[in-house]
Structures are given as C-alpha cells and as structure tokens.
Structure 1
Amino acid sequence: MNLHQITLHKLSMRLKHPFHTSFGTIQDKEVFLIDVMDMDGRHGFGETVAFSSPWYTEETVETNFHVMRDFLIPLLREHPIAHPDEVAALFSVIRRNSMAKAALETAIWDLYAKQKEQTLTTTIGGTKAQIDVGISIGMQSTSEALIDKIHAALEQGFKRVKLKIKPGHDIELLRQVRQHFPELPLMADANSAYTLRDLATLKQLDEFKLMMIEQPLAHDDIVDHATLQREINTPICLDESICSYDDVRHAITLNSCQVINIKLGRVGGLYEAKRIHDLCAEHGLSVWCGGMLEAGVGRAHNIALSALPHFNLPGDTAGSSHYWEQDIISPKVIVHNGYITVPQTSGIGYEIDWDAVKSYRTAQWTYTI
C-alpha cells in the first residue's frame, strides 16, 4: 500500500450538551484524528474513540497515544502491508488495546478505498444506499425533560430511541415513557449497572415490550447474561463484553443474547467487525452499530459499516449537529427523515474540515513509515 507517513492530530472537542450515563457525565471529548498518507500523497483518515478516563473500557486517550506511537506505528514501519485485512494479524502481537488498533486500521481502510477509487462502503462489501438511524438519549434531570427529548427525536424521524437506565432509575421511568409513547421502538441501555441479584427488577422489563436491554450485567460477562436471557422475554443485546469474533461465538454457544452491538473501536476495526457481522448473519442474531460520541471521521466509518447487509436494526449514528457545533468533516453527516444517505465518493465520502481541526487541535505528531 506504499504507506509513507502517519500524523496524529490531538483534538479537544466540546459536546453541545452534556451526556449522562450510569457512569457519570461527559462534556468534553478528546480525540486523535489519524492521517495516513501514501507515497502518492493520498490520505486516509481514522479516529480514536476512547475517553479520557477508563470508564467504558481500560483504554484511554493517553493509552491510545502510547500504544499507537510506541508499538503499532513501529509495526507498520517494520512490516509493509498489501491490504487492510493484514493489519489485524500484524497488530495481534499486541494484547487488546482495540481502540488504538481500530483508529489506525480504519484510516488504512479509507486510504485503500481511495487508492482503488471506490467508496469505503463498496470496499468492505456494503450494499445499502441509506441506513436507518436511531438515537441515544442520556439521563435527564426530570421525566418531563426526557419526554420532551423523545418528542423532538420523533419529529426528526429517528427510527428508535435508546434510553440509559440504572438501578432506581429504570422501571418507573420506562413506564412513564411507555404511557406517552405506546408504540415507540424503544430500547434500554444499562451499561453493566445490574447483577443477577436484580432479577426481579429485570423481569419487569418484559412489561414494556422493549426492542432489547443492552448490557444489563457485568461489562466482561457472557455467562450470567445467558442465565438472565432464560429468565426474561426481553431480548438481551451484548455490547461491552463483545470485543472479538470469539466473544460472539461464545455468546452464541451459551445463548447469552439475541442481539449484538458492533462498535468498531471496541472490536479493533473493520476487519473484525465484518467477521462478527457475518457470524451473526449465519446464526440469526440481529446486529446494529453502536456509537461512541464520535466526531465526523468515526461517524463516517460507522456509516460504511452499517451499510453491510445484515445490519438490520437502527444504529446510533446520529447527525453531526446532534453532538457538535462544528464537526471536523465536510459535508456534515445529516439525518433526513430517520435515514443517512451513504456517500458515493471515494473512501469515507467526506472531506476533512482543516479549519475546524486547527481550532480543536492541541498537539500533533508525524511519523515516517
């Protein structure tokens, strides 16, 4: 692929609105924009999705930088690659650190698609011209504020709504939402806030006819989720505990869930995400693409991934304006009547807004390959 240099742009971006989960509140997002250039001056772009503190996984912005700089970029320098599929095997000598790996791997995929003068969607096997979009709504200060947020989301055409729940902020909340929106495609995300000791509470979820309950139990669990799925009718979706193809294979063997949320950063990139997609299609598990409060480049990669044929549930890829006053891509990602049109220009289909990058950038480093 004739890789020549890699530039890491460190950005600090402020969300339009604080995002509340069972772990805490997020207002500022640090991001590394990855720029991989070949000998002919073509550029491919990726983005880190780790947070500044290790509340979602063990990775952070700083560990991503350390692993990319000191291990992954040297591997690319020492071992020339001919195709992006080779990156996962090359990086496999480094344990975990999937978000650091995905940032570089997705940038290489974008570059490869541009070298082939085709869309990233086509390059990875995507077939859809548009994708369905849902929305994730963080915890609100009052139920009235939450109802207003849901009304606004439905007016914008979103295909489903995901709500964050935690013990003490769950059953009554969902009951109030269901009373206002009896037919709303609704799911709940617990971010690992429950244990099997909460079985009586979790059984009550069946009353609300949810699309799914996402990761109710421990972040690294597959076994207890199998026990829970036998006890409730609500489909379980695994998120944090799915870090690889083998995790999905184990979940299928144990009947731990009915739905898989695929996040590029969490599974290490597009190669592994495609393998998981194919395995889920083979075994009849529903699939959707989760979000990590990405800026535009990460959002563009999610769009390409969601265009694979078995992504059969709306994902979390909301438009740029939902999260940012100014995104780092042009044109911005736009949701129209609950859909995003898959771009038809080469690579990720969006240009980098370098003025925006410069306004957010706090540091940058360039490495020759």
Structure 2
Amino acid sequence: MPRVRELEVFRLVLPYGRRPETLLVRLTDHGGMSGWGELVSPEPKLWSALEEGLAAQLIGVDWEHPDQVPGGGSAVDMALWDLWTRMRGVPLSHALGGAGTSLMATVRLGLDPSTESMVARVNQQVCGGYAHVTLDVRPGWDVEPVRAVRQAYPALSLAVDCGGAYTSPEQLVALDEYGLEVIERPFGIDDAYAHADLQDRVRASVAVEPRSTAELDDYLTLRAAKVLLLRPAALPSLSDARRAHDRAVAAGWDIQCAGGQGAGLSRAAAVAVASLPGCTLPCDVTQPPRNAQIVTPAVGASGGVVAVPLTQPGLGHTIDEERVRRMAKDTFRA
C-alpha cells in the first residue's frame, strides 16, 4: 500500500513570455520512489495554504488509489498518479485507459500585426509538418486573417480560438464561410445560451472549456457545443478529466486535449489524457519552448506529431531535479 514519506513543493518562475509561475509537487514513498505534479499559474494564496496544510493530508497516510486522497488539488493529484503508476510499472496513459501511441498536433498562432505576417507564420508551420493550425482571433482581428490564411491554404485544417472575447453570435457567423473545423471558446464560459445560439447558426463545431464536470453537463443538456476542450490541469483531478471525456463521448462530441503551458509536467499529463479513444481532434501541447521544460525528453510535437511515452512508467519523462532547484523561487519540504 503506498504511503508518502516526504513531500517537496517548488515555486518556479519560467523563462518565457511574461515569466509565468508554476508549482511543482514531488511526493516520495518509503521505498524512495517519487511522483511529480504541476500546477500552472497558481493563485497567490495557494503557496501558504499548501505550506500549512499539505503535509497533514499526505505524510504517513495509507492509500491504494490516487482518488482516495482528496483535496490536494490538481498538482498533488498528478503527483499521486505519477507515483502510483511508477510503482506499478505502467505508463500513465494506459492507467487512464488510453491506447494511442502517437497523436496529431495543432499549432497555435497568436495575434499578429498583419495578415501577411500571419500567412508567413502559417507557411512556416505547414512546412514544418503541421496539418492543423489554430489561429487566435479577437474582435477586429478575425475575418481578414482567416480569409487570408484560407486563400493561401485552401485544404488546411483550420480552427480559431476566440479566448472568450466575443459577446454575441453575430460577431462570429461570418467566419463560418471559411471552412473552419472548430470555433474555440467564443464567449465567457458562463454564457451557455450564447454558445448554443452560435452552434445552431454555424457548420463549424463550437468548443467549450468547462471548469468542472457539472458545468460540462449544463452544456451537454443545452447541446451548446460539439467539442470539449479538455485541459486536464484545469480540473481537480485526472479522474475528473476521464469522467469529462466519457460524458462528452457519450454525447457524441469530439474532444481536443490541451496543456501547453508550464514546465513540461502539465504537458505530459495532457498527452496521457489525449491518448484516450475519444480525443479525436489534434492535441495542443505546442507551448512553451522546449528549453523552458524540466523534463527529458521534452514534451512537444515533431513534424506535427506527438509521441505518447510508453517505455517508461508514470508520466514517462525524467525530471531534471538540478534544474528544478536552480529555477526555484521558493521551496518547502515536509
């Protein structure tokens, strides 16, 4: 029966973009085996809460399955799953029910100052092997870049991510003319009726990113979308991610798995979940840059394809502990 002997928590500042923070959790059992988890962009008060209460929840507590250790949050849950599967010598993807050995990937391209530059960036990615591209759009930067990319690449599988920036379906209906596969996160997640209205008016599949299985149920009831954007680290546990997957599949939805931020562990968990049979759309694990990761091999796509690690148990990657300690802004051990 597993029992955690020691825990360590690290707060890292990542070397890209606006230097976001991430939390890493390491759990070590009495046999010296460790499991790792990650929480990207943690709430400011979370550090003190973990420091004060996490040890009492974990140290010396007997458990047989990660689901039996509630309340630790997604990073702790990920570390428990990593430890549990390493102890059993099985890949995390198989433990969750996945069967895929490789995944098609989408590449996500942010806002751009000009349509010419956007088309050039798409060209670079297509030449690099990507067959699916997701463009960030916002009000005032949507129809023109999509039209330009579609004219340059008539057969390219194309999606847009609206980042919840729109307020009415009328703002997005015109995009349907350009053969989009998916319109991601068009409105705020609380506005299920706007999503349902848009889905009724476009051929593209609307994608939503619920924060819980209960929220997903509301969208399923309203038939407010056709795609679940599944980000495992945004849910309380990997079991919740699996339950969301199962509910979406039962409703006939497609699933895109995402997890591009952080230092690599969150990405690795996203790849494991993306190997589940219902994850039919290209996964999104293209950010951050490989040199910002603390895992070997780095998690990412090569030629538009992501390998599912099957030769090592757990998350399937080796942690560069020396680099973790170098990058750590704060740490505590119990």
Where on the TM-score scale, by shorter chain, does this alignment land: which range? Answer: over 0.9
Query: Which residue does the alignment assign to 1:361?
Result: 328
Does the residue aligned with 2:112 lie in a helix, a strand or coil? Answer: coil
Taking the aligned partners of 2:277 and 2:325, their CA distance within structure 1 comes to 37
Does the residue aligned with 1:115 lie in a helix, a strand or coil? Answer: helix
Does the residue aligned with 2:273 lie in a helix, a strand or coil? Answer: helix
* 1:7 and 2:8 aligned: yes
Q: Is the 8 A contact 1:251 1:257 kept in 2?
A: yes
Taking the aligned partners of 2:182 and 2:48, their CA distance within structure 1 comes to 36
1:75–1:285 distance in 2 versus 1, CA, 3 Å? same
Q: Structure 1 length as normaliser, TM-score? A: 0.85
Taking the aligned partners of 1:129 and 1:220, their CA distance within structure 2 comes to 35
* 1:216 and 2:158 aligned: no
1:64–1:140 distance in 2 versus 1, CA, 3 Å? farther
Taking the aligned partners of 1:65 and 1:288, their CA distance within structure 2 comes to 31
Match of 2:39 among 37, 44, 48: 48
* 1:233 and 2:203 aligned: yes
Taking the aligned partners of 1:64 and 1:295, their CA distance within structure 2 comes to 18
List gaps (5 residues or longer) in structure 2.
none
Query: Which residue does the alignment assign to 2:50?
Result: 68
Taking the aligned partners of 2:50 and 2:181, their CA distance within structure 1 comes to 37
Q: Following superposition of structure 1 onto structure 2, how do residues 124-163 of structure 1 map, counting pairs within 5 Å?
A: 124-163=96-135
Q: Is the 8 A contact 1:171 1:201 kept in 2?
A: no
The number of residues matched between the two structures is: 332
Taking the aligned partners of 2:240 and 2:276, their CA distance within structure 1 comes to 13
Q: Give every structure 1 segment of 4 or more consecutive aligned residues whose post-TM-superposition deviation is greater than 4 Å.
A: none
Query: Which residue does the alignment assign to 1:298?
Result: 266
CA deviation vs aligned residue, 1:152-211 (integer Å, no higher than 9, x gap): 211221231111111111111211111111111111111110112xx3321101101111
Taking the aligned partners of 1:271 and 1:108, their CA distance within structure 2 comes to 12
Query: Which residue does the alignment assign to 1:328?
Result: 294
Q: Structure 2 length as normaliser, TM-score? A: 0.93
Q: Is the 8 A contact 2:6 2:28 kept in 1?
A: yes
RMSD over aligned CA atoms reads: 1.9
Taking the aligned partners of 2:246 and 2:320, their CA distance within structure 1 comes to 34
Does the residue aligned with 2:14 lie in a helix, a strand or coil? Answer: strand
Taking the aligned partners of 2:48 and 2:161, their CA distance within structure 1 comes to 31
Taking the aligned partners of 2:223 and 2:90, their CA distance within structure 1 comes to 39
Query: Which residue does the alignment assign to 2:304?
Result: 338
Does the residue aligned with 1:325 lie in a helix, a strand or coil? Answer: helix
Deviation at 1:269?
2.3
65-74 or 284-293, which deviates more: 65-74
Does the residue aligned with 1:318 lie in a helix, a strand or coil? Answer: coil
Query: Which residue does the alignment assign to 1:265?
Result: 233
Residue type of the alignment partner of 2:104 = D
Match of 2:94 among 93, 115, 122: 122
CA deviation vs aligned residue, 1:45-70 (integer Å, no higher than 9, x gap): 111112xxxxxxxxx44233244334
* 1:35 and 2:2 aligned: no
Query: Which residue does the alignment assign to 1:83?
Result: 65
Residue type of the alignment partner of 1:48 = L
Q: Is the 8 A contact 1:48 1:64 kept in 2?
A: no
Deviation at 1:78?
8.3
Does the residue aligned with 1:261 lie in a helix, a strand or coil? Answer: strand
Q: Is the 8 A contact 1:131 1:339 kept in 2?
A: yes
Taking the aligned partners of 2:166 and 2:102, their CA distance within structure 1 comes to 35
Q: Is the 8 A contact 1:165 1:188 kept in 2?
A: yes
Taking the aligned partners of 1:117 and 1:365, their CA distance within structure 2 comes to 29
Residue type of the alignment partner of 2:107 = I
Q: Is the 8 A contact 2:263 2:294 kept in 1?
A: yes
Deviation at 1:356?
2.3
Deviation at 1:355?
3.0
